[in-house]
Structure 1
Amino acid sequence: MAIVAGEFLCPNCAARLRIHQSGQKQTEIDCPECAAHLLVEMTADNQISVMTRPEFDGTVPVATLHRFSISVAIILILITCTTLFFIIDFDSNEQKSSEENPEIVNQNPSVADPELTSNAVGPVAPAAPEKISFEDRLQRLGIRINDYRLNTGQFTTAGWNPNQEPGKPTGLSWLAGLDPELEAASKFSPNWNADWNSPVNDRFVRRSRNDLLNPELKIVVGSDRYPATHIVGISGVGVDAAELPKDHPRAGIFGWNRVTRTEDVIDGLSNSWLASGITERFSSWANASQSIRAVTAEPYINGPDGFGTGAPDRMPILMADGSVREMSAKTAPTIFRRLAAMADGLPLDPEVAGEPGKSTSTPSDSLTNKPIMPEVVPSEQTTSSPPPLKTVSPEVQQAMLEKFNQKVISFELNQPTPLNEVLVELEALAGVTIDFDEEQIPQTDPLRKMPVTLSGKMLSIAEMLDQILSPLNLITTPANDRMLIRRATTQ
C-alpha cells in the first residue's frame, strides 16, 4: 500500500508540516497557516514533492476558443451590446442628476471621506516581511538535516569535495549541500568537485542565504568578501577535533576525514550538539574550511570560540535530532564539552566527574569550577538519578503549552507501535522534550514499550498525547522545561 509520509515546508509560507497517509502516492491538503492548496506526492526515490496548486484564473486557451460554436459567439456579442447600452444610459442619468444637483459638482474631491476611497485603484504599500527568528532558522535547518539523515542513514559531510587534502578542505561546505534552492529544479548548478570559490561556482556562491543569517547581527559579508553564514557545525572538543577519528571521545559530528552515521552518535541524537550560531570570524556559507568549529576555550557563550547569537547570557543550539535547545551562561562548561562530543559516554550531569578525552585546549584547573547547571535533561542512557522536579515559571509553562496546542493536519498510526517511539515523534513535532518520570516509570518498566495506536485530523499535540496516555492511566506535568509523563494515581 502506498504511503505518503514525512515532514516538509509549505512552499507558500514556509510553515512546517508533517503528513502520514496510506493508500495513495499523492494527496491534496490545505496549509493550516496560509490556506494554500498543496499537492503532496512521493517520488520514485521516496522523496516528498510539494507544489502549490494554482487557482483557475479564467484564461481560456486559444485552441479552445476556436471550438466555440457560432451560436455561443452571437450570445457573447448580444451580452456585450446590452452591457454597453446600460453603461451609456447610466452615464446619461448621472449627468442629468449632476445638473439637477449642482452641489454634487462643486464638491472638492480632495476632502472626500477616506473610507469611501480606501479601495481606489493606485499604488499599495507592500506588507512588511515576516521576521523569522534565529531559533526558527535553526529549526528549519534541523529539519533539512534530519531529512537527509533519515534518507541516507548519515549526516552530511563537512566538505563535499572528495579530493580535498586532510585538514585543508577547499570544496563546498555542508551548508551548500543543504541549500533549499537545490531541492526544486533550480537554475543554480554548482560543480561539487571544484573549489568553492572557483569561477564555475561564482554564480552559486555569490547569493545571500537569509536562512543562514541571524537577523540580530548587522555583518552579512565575510572576511573573504562573500555572503556570510552565521551558523557553523560542531566538530568536537579541542583544536584538533576536526581531524580526529569518529570513535574518539572528543570527536563531534562534523570532521574532515570522517562520515558520521546515526549509530556513531553513541550519546544519543538529543544529547549531541550539531550546529550553533556565531558572532565573529564570519566567512562564506559555501566555504567548507570555515563551516565547522570546535569547542576550545571557556566561556562558551560570547567567548574566544565566537559562539553566540548576540544575547549576553544565552544562546540556542541545534541538536542532532533536529531540536533546538537553549543554553545559559550559567550552564557548567563541562556540559558544553559533553554535548560537543558525540561518543564520550558521559551523562549530562555536572556532578559526575569526567571529561570527553584529554583536551589540550582545556585547562585542567577548569574542572574545579562547577557552576550551577540549570534544567539539562539526562538521556535515557544516563545511569545517574534524575534532577528533582522544580516548579516551572508561568511564562515558561505558557510557552510550552502553546507548542503543545499546535494543530496537526493529520496523524495516522494504525499499526501498534511502542509508546516510547511514538513519544519521540510527538516530541519532534512539539519542539519540547518529553520524558518519563524515572521514579514512577523507570527504564525497565514495560509500560514504556506498551503498543499504542494514534489517529486523528486537526488535533493538537496535547490532544494526541491524551489519546495515547489516558488508556494507560498516565498524565503529563510541566517540569524542568520539559513535559514529564507520570502515573495518574500512584500505586
Structure 2
Amino acid sequence: MRRRILLWLISSATALGLVLGMALLLAIAWDDAAKGGCRGTLGTLMVGVDGYVYAKGHYPPATVPTEGLPPEERLSWIVEILPFVEGGGPWLVDRTMAWDEGANRILRRRGKFSDERIFVEGRDRTGWTHCPAHDTVFDVAGHELTSYIGIAGLGLDAAELPLVDPRAGVFGFDRLTPPGAITDGTATTMAAAETTESNGPWKAGGPATVRGLDPSRQPYIGRGRQFGGTHRDGAMVAFADGSVRFIRATIDPKVFEALSTIAGGERLPAGWDR
C-alpha cells in the first residue's frame, strides 16, 4: 500500500512538473512573440522618423509649434511623422489648434475627390503607435494611446533644455536636433522607448509623448517603472539611427542615462547592451 502511494506521488509530481514546464515554455514563447511584434511596431514608427529626418534635416520637434498653447495641448511629434509612415495625400492638420480640437479631433487626409477620413468608428487608430501586447489601447474618450514616448534627455526638465545642454536628448519643445548634433553617436542615443506608465494619446504633446528620465526613480525599467512593464525582463527601445533593441531591466542606470543624451560625452562600457 505504501509503495502504491509512493508511486502515485512520484507520478503526480512528474505530471505536475511537466505541466509547469509546458506552461513556462508557452509563457516564454508568447513573450518572445510579443517582443517581436513590439519591435516591428516601434520599427515602423522609426521609419517615419527616418523619413522626416531625411526630408527636413533634423529630428521632429517634441511638439508642433503652436503659439499660445502649452506643450501638453499641442499636437505631438508623432503627428509630424504621419506622412512618412502612412503616405497618401496631404494631411488636414490644423496647426493653430490643440490636438483634440476642431479638425484635429479626427485627423483626415485629402483624397482625390474629397477629404478622406482614414480612421474609422470615431477613433484615431494608427495601429503602429502602441505595442501589440499592451492591454490598454484607448482612453475613455476613444483616443488611441501610445506605448512609445520620445526621449527628451536626462531630467524632468529635459524637453525644455537648449540643444547645447549636456542633458539634452533627441526631442525638445523648442529645439531642433540635426543628426550632426548627436556626437554621442546615433547608434547609442535613444530616440523612443516603450512604457506602460501614464500612457497618453499619440496626438497629444507634452508628457503623453515625450519625457525626460527622472533620476530620482530607479531602476528605470520594469513593471511600475518609467519604462517597460509589458515584456519580461526589459523594454523595447529605438535609437536615433533607426535601430530597435531590447534593453534589459538590469542595465546600469548610469548607462541608461548616458543613452538618453545626444552629447553628454559619456563613455559606454563594453557589452552594455547584453
1:246–1:329 Cα change, 3 Å: same
Q: Deviations over 1:121-143 (max 9, x none)?
A: xxxxxxxxxx9701011112222
Task: Report if aligned partners of 1:214, 1:309 keep a CA contact under 8 Å in 2.
Answer: no
SS in structure 1 of the partner of residue 73 of structure 2: coil
Which position in structure 1 is the counterpart of 2:244? Answer: 324
Q: Which amino acid in structure 1 is aligned with residue 255 of structure 2?
A: I
**CA-CA distance at 1:223 after TM superposition:** 6.3
Aligned match of 2:126: 209
Please give the alpha-carbon distance, in whole angstroms, between the structure 2 residues aligned to 1:281 and 1:142: 22
Partners of 1:223 and 1:295 lie apart in 2 by 28
Measured after TM superposition, the shift of residue 200 of structure 1 is 2.2
Task: Name the CA distance, whole Å, in 2 between partners of 1:342 and 1:182.
Answer: 28
Cα distance in structure 2, aligned partners of 1:239 and 1:326: 24
Identity %: 27
Q: Which amino acid aligns with 2:43?
A: Q
* 8 Å Cα contact 2:71/2:205 also seen in 1: no
Distance 1:302 1:164, change over 3 A: farther
Inter-partner Cα distance in structure 1 for 2:140 and 2:168:
28
TM-score normalized by structure 1? 0.43
**Equivalent residue for 1:441?**
none
Structure 2 residue matching 1:318: 3-state secondary structure: strand
Structure 2 counterpart of 1:196: 99
CA distance in 1, matches of 2:223, 2:154: 15
The Cα of 1:263 is off from its aligned counterpart by: 1.5
Provide, for residues 258-306 of structure 1, a one-character-per-residue CA deviation record: whole Å limited to 9, x for no partner: 1111111111111100001111211111001221011112111126653
What's 2:76 paired with? 173
* Cα offsets for 1:387-442 (capped at 9, x unmatched): xxxxxxxxxxxxxxxxxxxxxxxxxxxxxxxxxxxxxxxxxxxxxxxxxxxxxxxx
Correspondence 1:230 to 2:147: yes
Matches within 5 A, 1:87-486: 133-165=37-69, 168-180=71-83, 183-185=87-89, 189-204=92-107, 206-222=123-139, 225-289=142-206, 290-296=208-214, 297-302=217-222, 305-349=225-269, 375-376=271-272
Work out which structure has the larger RCO, using CA pairs closer than 8 Å and 6 or more positions apart in sequence. 2
Answer with 1 or 2: which has the greater Rg: 1
Distance 2:140 2:263 in 1: 34
Q: Secondary structure at the match of 2:106?
A: helix
Alpha-carbon distance in 2 for matches of 1:200, 1:143: 26
Secondary structure, counterpart of 1:184 in structure 2? coil
Equivalent residues of 1:224, 1:284 under 8 A apart:
no
User: Distance in 2 between the 1:268 and 1:222 partners?
Assistant: 36
Q: 1:250 to 1:305 in 2, by over 3 A?
A: farther
Aligned CA distance change for structure 1 residues 242 and 152 (closer, same or farther; 3 Å): same
CA–CA distance in structure 2, aligned partners of residues 293 and 305 of structure 1: 13
Dislocated runs of 4+, deviation >6 Å: none
C-alpha separation in 1, matches of 2:95 and 2:106: 13
Unpaired runs of at least 5, structure 2: 1-33, 108-118
Change (3 A) 1:240 1:304: farther
Please list the CA deviations of residues 292-344 of structure 1 after superposition, one character each: whole Å capped at 9, or x if unmatched.
01111211112665311512311220000000122112211101000001110
Contact 2:58 2:178 in 1 (8 A): yes
Distance 2:235 2:63 in 1: 26
Contact 1:246 1:258 in 2 (8 A): yes
By how many angstroms is 1:199 displaced? Answer: 2.4
Greater Cα shift, 273-282 or 193-202? 193-202
The 3 A distance-change label for structure 1 pair 179 and 143 is same
Instruction: Tell me the amino acid that sits aligned with residue 211 of structure 2.
Output: R
Q: After the TM superposition, which of the residue ranges 298-307 and 314-323 deviates more from structure 2?
A: 298-307
* Gap change, CA 1:308 and 1:191, over 3 Å in 2: same
Task: Indicate if the aligned counterparts of 2:74 and 2:204 stay in contact, CA closer than 8 A.
Answer: yes
**Cα offsets for 1:184-215 (capped at 9, x unmatched):** 126x5121221101122222183112111111
Q: Greater strand percent: which structure?
A: 1
- Residues 159 and 212 of structure 2 are in contact (CA less than 8 Å); yes or no, is this contact kept in structure 1? yes
Q: Is the 8 A contact 1:164 1:171 kept in 2?
A: no
| CA RMSD between the two structures | 2.4
Q: Which runs of 5+ in 1 are unaligned?
A: 1-130, 350-373, 378-480, 482-491
Matched length:
223
